[in-house]
Structure 1
Amino acid sequence: MKLAVVGGGSTYTPELIDGFARLRDTLPVEELVLVDPAADRLELVGGLARRIFARQGHPGKIVTTSDLDAGVAGADAVLLQLRVGGQAARNQDETWPLECGCVGQETTGAGGLAKALRTVPVVLDIAERVRRTNPDAWIIDFTNPVGIVTRALLQAGHKAVGLCNVAIGFQRKFAALLDVTPGEVHLDHVGLNHLTWELGVRLGGPDGEDVLPKLLAEHGDAIAGDLRMPRQLVDRLGVVPSYYLRYFYAHDEVVRELGTKPSRAAEVAAMEKELLEMYSDPALDEKPALLGKRGGAFYSEAAVDLASALLGGGGSAVQVVNTSNRGTLPFLPDDAVIEVQARVDGTGAVPLAVPALDPLYAGLIGHVTAYEDLALDAALRGGRDRVFKALLAHPLVGQFEFAEALTDKLIAHNREHLAWA
């Protein structure tokens, strides 16, 4: 089995490598290719990756290359974890929206739109090159904004599934609180990427006992604290929202906070510098503890499960993924990409049935889906007017004055990445 990781020079890659090494019985990788245009970073990350495999006794071969076509040739699956523009572009996404009193964040709001506009054309080019080299390869997308990027891939006819680590993070946290194994916890996880709610927490599978009320009663303070939301809000909802919902439920508070501290991108950039220095140590043969602060917890385990299921090795038959709606949420178009529990096998992902949603959740899902429609159109066809319409439609913007100003700022800060600008 051959896997390729595009964006393999990321400082986060050793987390993925550690998962491949530990879970080699689930996903027996024979060759792993790390692809990245940043040759210096790639060699540092690749060296540590080989040492991690050696320490854990993994027999697979790790190859590094800056040649995309060579790297993906013959791959059974290609994992995308790239960041167009790097942390510098992310830092802009997180700062210029604040000038208009709007949330600055890399996956939602105006910053999220900027990332989508930079990313979608690049990902589609990569996917076309994968298809020319190996039309049977699966594409697993971890590149944000996952929902929009996955929809672009599926709309273009690629064999693609989107993946996020939010659900597996909740699964692990709830399992620890309940003192059970993660495999015993099934989430009624519903929504769009970075816009989800845990409507139930079931023991033993989709039809198991819902212990969410017990979790909220016994651990509500801890859960609310992790979300940085008031316990009163979580209790009144009776569900557990993704921490990304804080941008919607406490927008103005978040804007004030973001204006008083360095951006997350600046923090990550400093962390990455330190991590790369660690990776250069030839004695280091395991992921450093600092990597746990980098973000993306449990991504490696979710990726292994998904790749294994898609490639016929078993894995988790049911897993939270981003895939086409296909009537699952009847108020959305069939080709909208939703994030729900799905049954995954060699033919792809099929969403499990979802009960009728409270309008409190359905309304916001519908609103953000409409924005994503417009965002994808802007990413594919370009043009100031399309960018403006997407911003005007976003519930975190939504005002003419803001949308006008943010459109100009977005284009000014991203001109080098926008072929049409």
Structure 2
Amino acid sequence: MKLTVVGGGSTYTPELVDGFARLRDTLPVEELVLMDPAQDRLELVGGLARRIFARQDHTGRITTTTSLDEAVDGADAVLLQLRVGGQAARQQDETWPLECGCVGQETTGAGGLAKALRTVPVVLDIADRVRRTNPRAWIIDFTNPVGIVTRALLQAGHKAVGLCNVAIGLQRKFAALLSVAPSGIHLDHVGLNHLTWETAVRLGGPEGEDVLPKLLGEHGDRIAADLRLPRPLLDTLGVVPSYYLRYYYAHDEVVRELGTKPSRAAEVAEMERRLLTMYADPALDEKPELLGERGGAFYSEAAVDLAAALLGGGGAPYQVVNTYNRGTIPFLPDDAVIEVQAAVGTKGAAPLPVHPVDPLYAGLMADVTAYEHLALEAALHGGRERVFRALLSHPLIGQYAYAETLTDRLIAHNREHLAWA
């Protein structure tokens, strides 16, 4: 089995490699190709990746290349984890929206739209080259914004599934609180990428006992603290929102906070500098603890399960993925990309039935779905008016004066990445 990671020079990659090494019985990788245009980073990450495989007695071969066509040739699955513009572009995404009193974040609001505009054309070009070189390969997208990118891939007819680590992180957290194995926790996870709610926490599987009321009753304070949301809000919702919902439920509070501290992009850039220095140490043969602060926790386990299921080798029977709605959530369009539990196999992801969605969060879900449709139109076809329409539709923006100003700033800060600008 050959797997290719596009963006293999990312500091995330050792997390992924560690999972491939530990879970080789689930996903027997014979060749792992790390592809990245940044040769210097690629060699550092590739060297550590080989040492991780050697430490764990994995017999698979790890190769590195800057050639995409070479990397995907013969691959069974291609994982996308790229960042167009790097941390410098992320720094901009997190800064200029704040000047208008709007949240600055790389996947949410105006910054998220900027990332989508930069990313979608690049990902579609990669996917077209994968299809020309190896049309049977599955594409697993971990590149943000996952929902919009996955919708672009599916709309273009690619064999693609989107992946996020939010659900598996909550599954692990709830399992620890309940003192059960993670495999014994099944989440009724519903929404869009980075806009999700856990409406039930079931023991054993989709039909298992719902212990969410118990979880909130006994551990609600801790869960609320982790989400940085007030406990009474969780009691009112009766569900557990993703931590990304704080950008909506406490928008003005978040904007004030972001204006008084260094950006997350600056923190990550410094962390990446330290990580790459560590990766250069020939004695290092395991992922460093610092990587846990970089983000992407449990990404490797989720990726292994998904790749194994798509390639027919097993993996968890039900997994939270991003895929077409196709009537699963009846008030959303069939071609909306939703993030839900699905049965995953060699033919792709089939969403499990979803219980009726409470109007308390159904409206927000519908609003952001409409925004994502307009965002993809802007990413595919360009133009100032399409950017403005997407920003005006976003529930965190909405006012025309904000949308006008944000449109101009988005284009100004991203001109080098926008072919039409």
Q: Judge same fold: TM > 0.5, yes or no.
A: yes
TM-score by length of 2: 1.00
CA deviation profile, 1:297-355 (whole Å, cap 9, x unmatched): 00000000000000000101210000000000111111100000000000000000001
Secondary structure in structure 1 of the residue aligned to 2:8? coil
Alpha-carbon distance between aligned partners in 2 of 1:395 and 1:250, rounded to the nearest angstrom = 13
Match of 2:4, as an amino acid?
A: A
User: Map of 1:98-137 to 2, 5 A cutoff?
Assistant: 98-137=98-137
2:403 aligned residue: 403
2:279 aligned residue: 279
Q: Is 2:233 the counterpart of 1:244?
A: no
Alpha-carbon distance between aligned partners in 2 of 1:48 and 1:358, rounded to the nearest angstrom = 47
User: Map of 1:43-82 to 2, 5 A cutoff?
Assistant: 43-82=43-82
Match of 1:81, as an amino acid?
A: Q
Displacement of 1:14 in angstroms is 0.2
Structure 1 runs of 4+ aligned residues shifted over 3 Å read: none
Match of 1:34, as an amino acid?
A: L
2:29 aligned residue: 29
Secondary structure in structure 2 of the residue aligned to 1:210? coil
1:381 aligned residue: 381
CA deviation profile, 1:342-372 (whole Å, cap 9, x unmatched): 0000000000000111111111110000000
1:162 aligned residue: 162
Alpha-carbon distance between aligned partners in 1 of 2:36 and 2:363, rounded to the nearest angstrom = 40
1:348 aligned residue: 348
Q: Is there any run of 5+ residues in structure 1 with no aligned partner, and where?
A: none
CA deviation profile, 1:42-89 (whole Å, cap 9, x unmatched): 000000000000000000000000001001100000000000000000
Alpha-carbon distance between aligned partners in 1 of 2:343 and 2:178, rounded to the nearest angstrom = 25
Q: Is there any run of 5+ residues in structure 2 with no aligned partner, and where?
A: none
Q: Is 2:32 the counterpart of 1:39?
A: no
Secondary structure in structure 2 of the residue aligned to 1:268? helix
Secondary structure in structure 2 of the residue aligned to 1:209? coil
Displacement of 1:246 in angstroms is 0.2
Alpha-carbon distance between aligned partners in 2 of 1:317 and 1:140, rounded to the nearest angstrom = 17
Alpha-carbon distance between aligned partners in 1 of 2:370 and 2:251, rounded to the nearest angstrom = 20
2:392 aligned residue: 392
Displacement of 1:236 in angstroms is 1.1
Q: Is 2:292 the counterpart of 1:327?
A: no
Match of 2:86, as an amino acid?
A: G
Identity across the alignment (%): 83
CA deviation profile, 1:270-308 (whole Å, cap 9, x unmatched): 000000000000000000000000001000000000000
Displacement of 1:131 in angstroms is 0.2
Secondary structure in structure 1 of the residue aligned to 2:144? coil
1:233 aligned residue: 233
Secondary structure in structure 2 of the residue aligned to 1:290? helix
Q: How many residues of Structure 1 are paired with residues of Structure 2 in the alignment?
A: 421
Alpha-carbon distance between aligned partners in 2 of 1:361 and 1:316, rounded to the nearest angstrom = 28
1:191 aligned residue: 191
Displacement of 1:235 in angstroms is 1.0
2:222 aligned residue: 222
Alpha-carbon distance between aligned partners in 2 of 1:232 and 1:5, rounded to the nearest angstrom = 43
1:258 aligned residue: 258
TM-score by length of 1: 1.00
Match of 2:118, as an amino acid?
A: R
